[in-house]
Amino acid sequence: MSVLITGGAGFIGSHLVDHLLAETDDRIVVLDDFSTGSAANLTHLETDRLETVDGDVRDDSLVADLVADSDVVYHLAAAVGVKTIVEHPLASMRTNLKGTENVLEAAAEDATPTFIASSSEVYGKSEAVPFAEDDDRVYGPTTAPRWGYATAKAADEFLALGHHAEHDLPVVVGRYFNIVGPRQSGQYGMVIPTFVEQALAGEDLTVYGDGTQTRSFTHVAEAVSITHELLTTPDAHGEVFNVGAPGPTSINDLATRVIELTNSDSGVTHVPFAEAYSEDFEEPDEREPDVSKLRDVLGRTPTVDLDRILRDVIDERADEVPAR
């Protein structure tokens, strides 16, 4: 079987490549423009079952050709990270909307099973924690750049569900909740790799806001395993699923735990969101998934705890961060 993974050189995408190579006999084609992904994420793989195509998911003819040659599609390519979205709002919207539209239209031609990667950002600043897939969404004004990403991801979901309803496309939407693990870069505002690198370097950990905001973190190995299983489960087709681990942690507690596990003498510096981003930046207070639907369909949910996630990231970074 031939599998197309858009964004396959990215953090989550490269782990999905690892998983599929290990668990299946599939031939895998990765489409990536390497804007946020990295060829280095795939260099450990030496196999003739993997092909990499350097290209843009917004290129409709390229996407159409690659999807036509595929039996299954995982669409993970997207503009990622709060920093990217705030600094490049127009490019982010175009990538997330046009890319998904291209993939879905091509997949609909032959009813090719397709996974669409969405995000917990679609819940906006709702306070109905934990979030269930059919909960209402609450967004801020269009003048706040952050909500452009949430809006684009919600539109991606509407496109996916519309193709399922009108074309019987076997599609699954997965809303990722703070997926973390080895290979993740802190360059785009990801908190755990940033904290770990700061702690290992003996620098103060930078906490934006007052640090009381909470997030639920999910190990990337479990996220890609669930992603694969959802697309191969017929009962999941035409549905939206939270892909995340329950059990939120405040950013202040996260910083403390990183310092403890790295045996660092780092402190913590709080920086206002307005100073880090802009005066109109909004940060949700809580993000926690309700995983009842995932449990009902797959019979399991993510279980890897935060300490294991942190240790995996610390072990990877320990040899990369210059000694003090």
Torsion of CA 156, 159, 160, 161, to 10 degrees: 120
* DSSP at 320: T
Which candidate in 74, 123, 139, 149 is catalytic? 149
* DSSP at 40: G
* DSSP at 289: B
Please give the single-letter amino acid code of residue 118. Answer: S
CA distance 158 to 301: 25
**Residue 60, number of CB atoms within 10 A of its CB:** 16
CA distance 301 to 136: 23
With CA atoms as reference, report the closest residue to 159 among 209, 222, 200, 103.
103
Contact between 169 and 163 (Cβ < 8 Å): yes
Angle at 172 between CA 170 and CA 176, to 5 degrees: 165
Whether 188 is catalytic: no
* DSSP at 323: P
Q: Which residue spans within 56-198 are E strands per DSSP?
A: 72-75, 114-119, 171-176, 179-180
* DSSP at 120: G
Measured in residues, the chain has a length of 324
CA distance 305 to 302: 9
Contact between 277 and 209 (Cβ < 8 Å): no
With CA atoms as reference, report the closest residue to 257 among 311, 294, 212, 218.
311
Contact between 286 and 241 (Cβ < 8 Å): no
- Catalytic center residues: 149
